[in-house]
Amino acid sequence: MKKYTMETTVGIFLVLGLLCVGYMTVKLGHVSLFGDDTYPLLARFTTVTGLRAGSMVYISGIEVGRVEKLSMDQESQKALVEIRIRNGVKIYDDAIASIKTEGLIGDMHMSIDPGGAGALLKPGATITETQPPLDIADLVSKYAFGDVKKQSPSPENREK
């Protein structure tokens, strides 16, 4: 009898452990089982260097979505970024999407200025105003090799 009690206890712990692993997989993998609480939007950039699928999307510093997929638009020869935005977050057709760096050499993320003067973007719509990421390495190399031009003060701004 004691043998079956031990086997039952081990079985219960094994099932509970598998349920915990399954739950963590779904939560950490951002998998939705019972319907999706996000909607898709697109944005076209000249370059998306450093951005990757899974990168965060922020509005006013608050995480509102994730980058779903990066692809190439063959017609316009631009990078096409598909993002998923949480339901309830309003983005208008005059929104501006930009790619920014977290810290000096951190991961890239997308930041959206949601606009407000136009009409609401419908799921699957495209954000037309975009700003590509700032290339820090290019700026450093220009500064190091003297490509940055110093501007002399104009005559009216010089101190006398």
For residue range 121-142, list pLDDT tens digits in order: 899 999 888 888 877 777 777 7
Kindly indicate the confidence band of residue 84, based on its pLDDT and cuts at 50, 70 and 90. Answer: very high
* 88: region left, alpha or beta (phi > 0 left; psi from -120 to 50 alpha): left
Q: Are 108 and 58 in contact (CB under 8 A)?
A: no
Residue 20 one-letter amino acid: C
Looking at residue 7, its pLDDT comes to 87
Q: Are 53 and 106 in contact (CB under 8 A)?
A: no
Q: Are 48 and 71 in contact (CB under 8 A)?
A: no
For residue range 145-155, list pLDDT tens digits in order: 776 555 555 55
Tokens of 146: 């003297």
3-state secondary structure of 3: helix
Q: Is the pLDDT of residue 68 over 80?
A: yes
Kindly indicate the confidence band of residue 160, based on its pLDDT and cuts at 50, 70 and 90. Answer: very low
Q: Is the pLDDT of residue 16 over 90?
A: yes
Kindly indicate the confidence band of residue 27, based on its pLDDT and cuts at 50, 70 and 90. Answer: confident
Q: What is the mean pLDDT of residues 15-40?
A: 78
Looking at residue 154, its pLDDT comes to 53
Q: How many CA atoms lie within 13 A of 117 on its CB side?
A: 4
For residue range 28-45, list pLDDT tens digits in order: 766 655 556 889 999 999
